[in-house]
Amino acid sequence: MSVTVRDLRAFKERGERFVMLTAYDYPTARILDEAGIPVILVGDSVGNNVLGYETTIPVTMQEMLHHTRAVVRGATNALVVGDMPFMSFHTAIEDAIANAGRFLKEGGAHAIKLERPVIEVAAAIVDRGIPVMGHIGLGPQSVHAMGGYRVQGRTEEDARKILDEAQALDKAGIFALVLEGIPSDLAARITETMSAPTIGIGAGPHCDGQVLVINDLLGLGFGSYPKFAKPYAHLRETIAEAVTRFAADVAAGEFPDEAHAYR
């Protein structure tokens, strides 16, 4: 049976922690779905994890819809959330509603995610029957305005602002809220005061759920990983070893052998 937004709220009510992972293609989505991952985010992190951009900012609606369709084809049971890219919801509310609708109508997603505390936009999209996941704290789309990837909410004033944003989004009707790059105690306060479940990434252990970028989890990154990311595999090294062995076998005339050739 497919996971719905109501299931996430039920997880919170039961005190049952859950996970969300990003996916950008059909095979990854299918593997995650078959493993029982309840929520798959088609993140705009596709930009710096798959498309080679330095940040998420250049990612377009067309690119997001393309990858969303691929993920939807691979996910039978998971709730698929499409990430609204930079400037797709920053102008007129009518444009934001239209772009959110494209994720469901053209992309096949079940819900959308909005980065930044855009309360009126979130409420308007929810009012149109489109489930909205919020995202506050550190926002990769606002990396330039924030002066880099910096932890947010360290001062009491900033913490109060983020708490107020969370509560306002909760009242606007979001079904879940991503908390990124904030202190653990602030995430705990937000989680306790919200009816919607919280999903942390660099927000400590007190959130209702946790999310990681799939490339970080699988060890497919280049350079260092964020402090909050834990590689559970090292597939970059595995892939490099496999292709090196293949090239060596071909050079030595050992591949293809009789077992891999037609008679």
Q: For residue 112, what are its two tokens?
A: 């959308």
Given 63, 115, 165, 180, the catalytic residue = 180
pLDDT above 80: residue 85: yes
To the query of whether residue 180 is one of the catalytic residues in this protein, the response is: yes
β-pair partners for 98: none
Q: Is 78 helix (H, G, I), strand (E, B) or coil?
A: coil
The residues, ordered by sequence, that sit 6+ positions from 87 with a Cβ below 8 Å of its Cβ are: none
CA distance 85 to 67: 12
Report if pTM > 0.75.
Answer: yes
Q: Is 220 helix (H, G, I), strand (E, B) or coil?
A: coil
Q: For residue 43, what are its two tokens?
A: 């993140």
Span 78-97, mean pLDDT? 97
pLDDT above 80: residue 1: no
Average pLDDT score over the chain: 97
How do residues 194-237 score in pLDDT, each as one tens digit? 999 999 999 999 999 999 999 999 999 998 899 999 999 999 99
Domains for the chain: give ranges and CATH numbers: 5-232 (3.20.20.60), 235-263 (no CATH)
Q: What is the pLDDT of residue 137?
A: 97
CA distance 237 to 49: 17
